[in-house]
Chains A and B, each alone.
Chain A
Amino acid sequence: MSDRGFSLLEAIVATAIVTSGLMALAQLTILATRANAASRAVSTATMLAVDKMEQLRAYAWTVDVAGLPVSDAALQSSPSGTLDADVDGFFDRLPGWTRRWSVTPLPSNAETLVLQVRVVGRRGEESRLTTARTRRAN
């Protein structure tokens, strides 16, 4: 057995190993921070999508006393592709986010609308909601 202690080289190698271990640990906190930020982004996107959906629900889509349909102009059928590109009347911008939506009558029943909202963030975070709306809920 050598009783000359560690050589400088050994010490440096050991330091390098300890450092890489510590770096891996530090990486964990960065990961946790990122995961937190990502979940916040998705929550925000979903909340914005719900908000838009509620706005679409607030437009008149009903029948009057005589039983004739009453439709708000904002609920006219949207052209195709409004979820993937900015089409006038079917998108709005909020700080950091783009909201796009589409209004499509069911092919089998034009009285029922399929409403879709897609919210996309700057870093590609997104949330998408779909619902159906009938002329009368009862």
Chain B
Amino acid sequence: MGSIGVVYDSGFGHTAAQARAVGEGAIAVPGTEVSLYFAEEVALDPRQLDGCDALVFGTPTYMGSGSAVFKTFMEASSKIWLDQGWKGKLAAGFTNSSGHSGDKLNTLTQLWLFAMQHGMVWVGLGLLDGNGRSSGSDAELNRLGAYAGAMAQSNSDQGLEGMKDSDLRTAASLGERVARQVALWKGAGL
């Protein structure tokens, strides 16, 4: 049984919906266990993530990087980092902002570097970019065209109902990919 932890922060529920979509995508892969962990809570005891085979990190993009609360979680993991306690786990990332770019790539880069410092192995999104042709639409998977992880964009004057289904399916696709990679790695006995 592969075990995946989705660690997330959320300001007004959009990134929470994205986190849930990652979870739903992962759990659809047989033999996968998934739990979501809220960043401010798991920051108090990050060792509860030690048993996970993969960690998927998600945070809103605020002011061009991850939220302060998510950073609190990152720093709370420093004792584990010192012992390289999470070394060899798989990792992936996702983020949401109201801006279509919102400089979200910087957040994914931040999450990737965080995983690298922990000695983890990064799993990208694995989808070509969508909505880049005249025949395309924003209903296509990966409509924001990210490779490093899953991006979403939500209008600042709407709640969760304003989340694009394509962004949630993109997040689910990331969750599914991580779950399949976990199954591969575990199957290889690594």
Chains A and B are bound partners: no
Residues of B within 8 A of A (CB): none
